[in-house]
Chains A and B, each alone.
Chain A
Amino acid sequence: DIQMTQSPSSLSASVGDRVTITCRASQSISTYLNWYQQKPGKAPKLLIYDASSLQSGVPSRFSGSGSGTDFTLTISSLQPEDFATYYCQQSYSTPYAFGQGTKLEIK
């Protein structure tokens, strides 16, 4: 099974900061990598699919990159509504594992 590891597990940042979250797969997954945002008490929301494709309706300050085993999610200028937990997920082979999450908090 493919394991997904995110770093950092938590991150403090300020409005307007540029933030990068990384995700590493235990083996190559090509670009079969998705990013989700989850706020407390809510279902996750798809942000990025296929490593770098922006889901419809998601602000352009979110971007994704990477291929193979190493991936990044970047938020170019943090907005107040971006403080949440972020998860990566591989969709290369079952089980379609998630990373452990990165909690983005206000500094």
Chain B
Amino acid sequence: EVQLVESGGGLIQPGGSLRLSCAASGFTVSSNYMTWVRQAPGKGLEWVSVIYRGGTPYYADSVKGRFTISRDNSNNTLYLQMNSLRTEDTAVYFCAYSSGYASIDYWGQGTLVTVSS
């Protein structure tokens, strides 16, 4: 059974850094696309970043240069390193897996990141 469990969210001051983790089970994180999607309170879904099977990452313009997606195959874990955090980064962050092409068929429960002074 595929499972994704995010952790690492919390309250952080503007300008700070945070690393989110997503522990995967039931598949290997290097087997296909892994994605981060976020949702600000009361707002819609925002695509944040993807890492392809070969390791190539892509980012939304809103986080480019500040966020880094990575994976640890030995721990079967996906990460999102978030630097220079802004109040507008406040959101629930979902880790997600695509078993096919790029449609997302498995999602974690989400972890809340609050950026506030």
What residues make up the interface of A, taking CB atoms closer than 8 Å to B?
1, 32, 34, 36, 38, 43-46, 49-50, 55, 85, 87, 89, 91, 94-101
Task: Spell out B's residues near A (CB within 8 Å).
Answer: 35, 37, 44-47, 50, 58-61, 94, 100-105, 107-110
- The distance in angstroms between the C-alpha atoms of A50 and B103, with both chains bound, is 8
Q: Per DSSP, are chain B's interface residues mostly helix, strand or loop, or mixed?
A: loop
The answer to whether B101 touches A95, judged by C-beta atoms less than 8 angstroms apart, is no
Contact A1 B61 (CB under 8 A): yes
B105 touches A95 (CB 8 A): no
Partner of A44, one of B60, B61, B102, B104: B104
Pick from B46, B94, B103, B110: contact of A34, CB below 8 A: B103
**Within the assembled complex, what's the spacing in Å between the Cα atoms of A48 and B47?**
18
Tell me which residues across on chain A come within 8 A of B46, comparing CB atoms: 98
Main secondary structure of the interface of A (DSSP, over half): loop
Contact B45 A44 (CB under 8 A): yes
Given known A-B contacts A94-B58, A95-B60, A46 and B104 have beta carbons under 8 A apart: yes
On whether A100 and B109 interact (CB within 8 A), knowing A34-B103, A91-B101, A94-B50, the answer reads no
Tell me which residues across on chain A come within 8 A of B103, comparing CB atoms.
Answer: 34, 46, 49-50, 55, 89, 91
CB-CB under 8 A from A85, the residues of chain B are: 44
Please measure, in the bound complex, the distance between the C-alpha atom of A96 and the C-alpha atom of B45, giving whole angstroms. Answer: 11
